[in-house]
Amino acid sequence: MTIKVGDRMPKGQFMVMGENGPEPLSTDDLFSGKKVVLFSVPGAFTPTCSAKHLPGFVDNADQLKARGVDTIACMAVNDVFVMSAWGKSGNVGDKVVMLADGNGEYAKALGLEMDASKFGMGTRGQRFSVIVNDGVVEQVNVEPPGQFGVSSAETALQQLS
């Protein structure tokens, strides 16, 4: 079942790059007591993700935080090393937390996985964004295949107005 407004985010775990290497980050640590904008991309370093999606959140991070967002997080079905390298390449600094959903387990728990095997990418997460307040979903924005718009930072800013 696909996550919807009013649902509690499922329990799970991501990997993030810490000062001493890969570290787990639980969904409790990510969402509890915080307003979070989580966006998902089909893959790090892919064209739309690198040219529009990630940069939009980096560029609008201060505005999002001014509207009460504690954490902006980017999720992809990639390993932690790829997510870390993509974050460095995209100059995210401390503006966006780069979450590795290496096996696609969290995308599946949200009901937002997709089959990208015809592109040689296997199972991935769909392009989407969610606004979460203390673990409860306030907004869900899932892109139609091959499109980019409703999951953008600009849409999140409008929804937080």
Which sequence spans correspond to the domains of the chain?
A: 13-159
Active-site residues: which are they? Answer: 49
SS3 sequence, 129-157? Answer: EEEEECCEEEEEEECCCCCCCCCCHHHHH
Region of 156 on the Ramachandran plot (φ > 0 left; ψ -120 to 50 alpha; else beta): alpha
Residue-by-residue pLDDT tens, the chain, 161 positions: 799 999 999 999 999 999 999 999 999 999 999 999 999 999 899 888 788 899 999 999 999 999 999 999 999 999 999 999 999 999 999 999 999 999 999 999 999 998 888 887 778 899 999 999 999 999 999 999 889 999 999 999 999 98
Q: What is the CATH number of domain 13-159?
A: 3.40.30.10
